[in-house]
Amino acid sequence: MESERSKRLLQDVLARPGNDVCADCGNAEPDWASVTLGVFVCQGCSLLHRGIPHISRVKSVQQETWDASEVELMAAMGNEPAKAKYEQKVPAFYYRPKHTDCKLLREQWIRARYERNEFEFIEKQEPYSAGYREGFLWKRGRDNGQFLSRKFILSEREGALKYFNKQDARDPKAVMKIETLNATFQPAKIGNPYGLQITYLRDNSTRNIFVYHSDSKEMVDWFNAIRAARFHYLQVAFPGASDEELVPKLTRSFMKEGFMEKTGPKHTEGFKKRWFTMDDRRLMYFKDPLDAYARGEVFIGSKENSYTVLPGLPPSTQGYHWNHGITIVTPDRKFLFACETEAEQRDWIAAFQRVINRPMRPQEYAVEAHFKHKP
- The predicted pLDDT at position 3 comes to 67
Cα(300)–Cα(327) distance, integer angstroms: 12
Domain encompassing residue 260: 256-373
For the chain, how many structural domains are there in total?
Answer: 3
Per-residue pLDDT of the chain (375 residues; tens, 9 = 90+): 556 777 788 888 888 999 999 999 999 989 999 999 999 999 999 999 999 999 999 999 987 788 888 889 999 999 999 999 999 999 999 999 999 999 999 999 999 999 999 999 999 999 999 999 999 999 999 878 899 999 999 999 999 999 999 878 889 999 999 999 999 999 999 999 999 999 999 888 899 999 999 999 999 999 999 999 999 999 999 999 999 999 999 999 999 999 999 998 888 889 999 999 999 999 999 999 999 999 999 999 999 999 999 999 999 888 889 999 999 999 989 999 999 999 999 999 999 999 999 999 988 888 888 887 664
Q: Is 122 within the bounds of a domain?
A: no
CB 218, CB 236: distance < 8 Å:
no
Task: List, in order, residues 6 or more apart from 112 with CB less than 8 Å away.
Answer: 118, 119
Strands (E) across 109-247 are located at: 132-140, 147-155, 160-164, 174-177, 182-185, 196-202, 205-212
Q: Is 93 within the bounds of a domain?
A: no
CATH code, 24: 1.10.220.150
Cα(351)–Cα(272) distance, integer angstroms: 21
Instruction: For residues 264 and 226, state if they share a domain.
Output: no
Neighbours of 251 (CB within 10 A): 20
- The predicted pLDDT at position 282 comes to 95
Torsion, Cα of 187, 191, 197, 202 (10° steps): -160
Instruction: For residues 243 and 265, state if they share a domain.
Output: no
Number of H helices, E strands in the chain: 11, 17
- Among residues 249, 278, 300, the one where a domain terminates is 249
Straight-line distance from the first to the last Cα atom of the chain, in angstroms, rounded to the nearest whole number: 80
Q: Is 145 within the bounds of a domain?
A: yes
Instruction: For residues 196 and 235, state if they share a domain.
Output: yes
- The predicted pLDDT at position 374 comes to 60
CB 191, CB 263: distance < 8 Å:
no
Instruction: For residues 215 and 314, state if they share a domain.
Output: no
Instruction: For residues 272 and 347, state if they share a domain.
Output: yes
Q: Is 310 within the bounds of a domain?
A: yes
Burial class (CB in 10 A: 0-12, 13-18, 19+), 249: middle
Q: 86 φ, ψ to 5°?
A: -90, -10
- The predicted pLDDT at position 11 comes to 84
- DSSP 8-state class, residue 214: S
DSSP percent split of the chain into helix, strand, coil, nearest 5: 35, 25, 40
Instruction: For residues 213 and 294, state if they share a domain.
Output: no
Q: 187 φ, ψ to 5°?
A: -60, -45
Q: Is 139 within the bounds of a domain?
A: yes
- The predicted pLDDT at position 13 comes to 86
- Among residues 249, 284, 319, the one where a domain terminates is 249
228 alpha carbon, distance to own chain's centre: 15
Instruction: For residues 140 and 230, state if they share a domain.
Output: yes
- The predicted pLDDT at position 68 comes to 87
Cα(351)–Cα(254) distance, integer angstroms: 10
Instruction: For residues 280 and 359, state if they share a domain.
Output: yes
CATH code, 201: 2.30.29.30
Instruction: For residues 260 and 244, state if they share a domain.
Output: no
- The predicted pLDDT at position 375 comes to 46
